A and B are shown apart, each in its own frame.
Chain A
Amino acid sequence: MKSRPAHSIITQAGRFLVVSIFVISGLATSFVHLTPAFADAPKLQHRILQMTTQLEGATSDYTFRFKYQTGNPLIGSLRFDFCTTPYVTETCDAPAGIDTSAATLTTQVGETGFTILSQTASEIIITRPVLQADSSRDITYTFSGIVNPTAVGQFAVRVETYQSTDATTLMNSQSDFAGSIVIAINVNAEVPPFLDFCVAEIIADYCQTSGSNFFDYGDFSDTTTRFSQTQFQVATNARNGYVVVLEGNTLTSSNHLIDALDVPTASAEGSSQFGINLRANSTPAIGQDETGVGIGSINTDYDTPDLFKFAKGDVLASATTGSNYNLFTVSYIVNVPPDLPAGIYNTTVTYVCTGAF
């Protein structure tokens, strides 16, 4: 204290006494507000509050894990008060939206045998015949069906233990469990309907097309099979899969035609034949088998090596669900008889892929 001149009619000692009385009186008044009702009450040890969800207004399990306070206390009841603040000295204001009225005590580990004595929207009291709790034992009590507060932020659960079985007298510990309410994270994405289909002479992964779409067989010969190949690739996320349908006609010239093979047939030189299949063939050596990780499959009529068919409207390949990429190779063969009328024979073959979303 800084010394003062002794000219005052109140001596320094006198001032000290007066000030002391004033200060102590003032502090005593404040003390009433500062001192908890049970300021130094023992606390539950290693307190953990686990919530299955901290979302605002959600229904959650509340699992209280702890060890009882030291000294192996006598326990007859516990009070769980849900409050906006943890201070035991303050009035417990229930967090908006909290609802414990329908909670059930679903798990007890450690000291067991408790039942719910009473419950309100923000308070639960559990009871059992008085036991001497083991302070070293891990305790778990889970309440299910508690509706979370509806406001984002912190709240508290004040837990008091009592020797009495109705949580009215002989309180022997006061503790706080902190909880927090947060918003949910919603992750959104869209996968659009997808059907990737391409046709070309040569196709690399993911429909990278190249080559020609026009094939000139030159002059036909009744002793030589003419052949060529194209490819188509397909992938889709259509839930019900896809079909690839053959459209077009056989080779024609005016009112003359080369016969389309209406059933799977081997290539025969000197015959009138126009057909396709989707396999690797040896007679003639043309084509390749299906590739890719998709689940697409070949129609059986076009799925036998060296047997060819051409029927407008036939399904060539299909998948029953969404499929990753498959690459199909279409082999074309043409045989002509000796008496085939002269002319320029041509056709346009179209492949139609339809996804079933």
Chain B
Amino acid sequence: MQKIRIKLNRGVSAVIAVLFMALLGGANLGLFGGGVAFADNLTSRKVTVSSSAKGSISTNAAGQAVPAGEGGNGAKANHTFSFTLPTTGNVGSVKFKYCTTAFGACTAPTGLDASTLATMASSTGWSGSFPLSLDTSTNLTSGDAECVGSGNGRTNCIAVKKGTADSESTGARTVGFGTGGGTDWIKNPTSVGDYYVRIQLYATTAYGTPGDSGNVMFAIVDQVNITTKVQETLNFSVANTPVDPSTSCVALSGGGNIFLGDVTNHVLDFTQAYDNHTYFRLSTNSANGVVVQYSGDTLKSGSESIDVAGTAGPTPEASTVGAEQFGIGIDSADATAFGYSFTNLSASAPYSTGNGTITNGGTASFYFDTASKTAPITVASSANVVICDTGSVRYLANISPNTAAGVYTTTITYIATPTY
């Protein structure tokens, strides 16, 4: 649990203590005059509040409920008081009174409500034989008009007492409220501002014979709502040459032309199979997956075309030298630097077996469907986000002796479709 701790430092405490005593001393002389063993300022005082949000706030900026006791929930907060007893003496009860000012008449903070507390959540350091417990039954309003509330004056006051008053030695003490379930919480003031809790120890269990005392302060502030947005991303690029994705998933750039055939003239020969590669790179935060599809025709020269690879099924086909074939496949064995890197994507059948040899009857197999011209076909997909994957698409071309002469071309387009 992250708590916001607000305290007065010793310099302020000292000033406040002097003023407190100066202002209240005269009025309280009578009270203190009954042989009280201690009537000093509590030292090292602070109140730690679980939330500095207004008591009207229990949800975050997105409208989602904030659990009780967390920083964003001012409606159900816990307050823990810490202080050091400066002198040894009897302690029977303690009253924590929330006011808008440190001194003078106490006005209950607007919206504050401690009346729903059901337990004393914690206490440490108390050395007497009789433990403190939350007192909700004693009517505080009868002896202290500044404790208000329709019940026993618990709207702005919290009281704890022992079964029997006994001696407490000097030293650090803590008392905490509001870490239970249900309504066992403190509702913070509902207005922004500084607020004070006047702590008063009593030598009796009936809130008589005031002893050590001191004020602590806390502040209610506006919550800082930070809104940001992660945009839907779809970084998709294709090219004939891969580049280092580096740490930013650098997009592929450069040309989109590739040639099939001999290296010099790009001429096909029916006695040999030819291949080449292009690449796509994808990065997307689409939580519901993404598909990479292709769309295009087989190699064509005027009215002539080269038969596609593969058979019904669909079943990919190994290279058959001397027979017309045009096909594609994802080449997971592409040794080109940065040429293949699937981490999130998976190649889709029948395009997942483009790795291997392309000699006649080789181990690689290929497929192509000209129906992709009007209905793009998936070659790779992911069910989740894709951090930065590079796909290597291998193209196979074989011709037969009677494949008509000509310059054959086709345009293949790749499409990435994410689902957000």
Chain A residues within CB distance 8 Å of chain B: 3, 6, 11-14, 16-17, 20, 24, 27, 31, 34-36, 39-40, 46-55, 85-89, 152-154, 156, 176-180, 182-194, 196, 206, 235-239, 294, 321-325, 357
Chain B residues within CB distance 8 Å of chain A: 6-12, 61-63, 194, 217, 219, 221-222, 224-229, 231-240, 251, 253, 255-261, 265-268, 270-271, 274, 276, 278, 280, 284, 286, 288, 295-296, 299, 301, 304, 376, 393, 395, 397, 399-420
Is chain A's interface secondary structure helix, strand, loop, or mixed overall? mixed
6 closest A-B pairs (Cβ-Cβ)?
Answer: A322-B402, A178-B234, A189-B260, A235-B401, A180-B236, A193-B405
Q: Which residues of B contact A52 (CB under 8 A)?
A: 295, 376, 415
Complex contact A190–B227 (CB within 8 A):
no
Closest to B6 in A: A16
With contact pairs A24-B221, A156-B232 given, residues A184 and B261 touching in the complex (Cβ less than 8 Å): no
Complex contact B228–A34 (CB within 8 A):
yes
Closest to A4 in B: B9
Q: Which residues of B contact A87 (CB under 8 A)?
A: 229, 231
Q: Which residues of A contact B403 (CB under 8 A)?
A: 191, 237, 322
Q: Which residues of B contact A177 (CB under 8 A)?
A: 232, 420
Looking at A53, A85, A86, A178, the one whose CB has the most chain B CB atoms below 10 A away is A178
Complex contact A11–B12 (CB within 8 A):
yes
Task: Give the A-B pair count, Cβ closer than 8 A.
Answer: 224
Give A12 to B13 CA distance when docked, in angstroms: 11
Give A115 to B403 CA distance when docked, in angstroms: 50
With contact pairs A154-B233, A189-B266 given, residues A48 and B402 touching in the complex (Cβ less than 8 Å): no
How far is the CB of B367 from the nearest CB of chain A, in Å?
Answer: 15
How far is the CB of A237 from the nearest CB of chain B, in Å?
Answer: 5
A16-B219, A55-B413 known; 4 new pairs, CB 8 Å cut-off, are A12-B11, A48-B419, A187-B276, A324-B402
How far is the CB of B292 from the nearest CB of chain A, in Å?
Answer: 11
With contact pairs A40-B63, A48-B418 given, residues A187 and B12 touching in the complex (Cβ less than 8 Å): no
Q: Which residues of B contact A184 (CB under 8 A)?
A: 256, 411-413
Complex contact B240–A185 (CB within 8 A):
yes
Q: Which residues of A contact B408 (CB under 8 A)?
A: 188-191
Complex contact A178–B401 (CB within 8 A):
no
Complex contact B224–A178 (CB within 8 A):
no
Complex contact B284–A178 (CB within 8 A):
yes
Give A31 to B223 CA distance when docked, in angstroms: 12
Q: Which residues of B contact A86 (CB under 8 A)?
A: 231-232
Complex contact A188–B295 (CB within 8 A):
no
Complex contact B402–A235 (CB within 8 A):
yes
Give A319 to B340 CA distance when docked, in angstroms: 46
Complex contact B9–A187 (CB within 8 A):
no
Give A46 to B287 CA distance when docked, in angstroms: 9
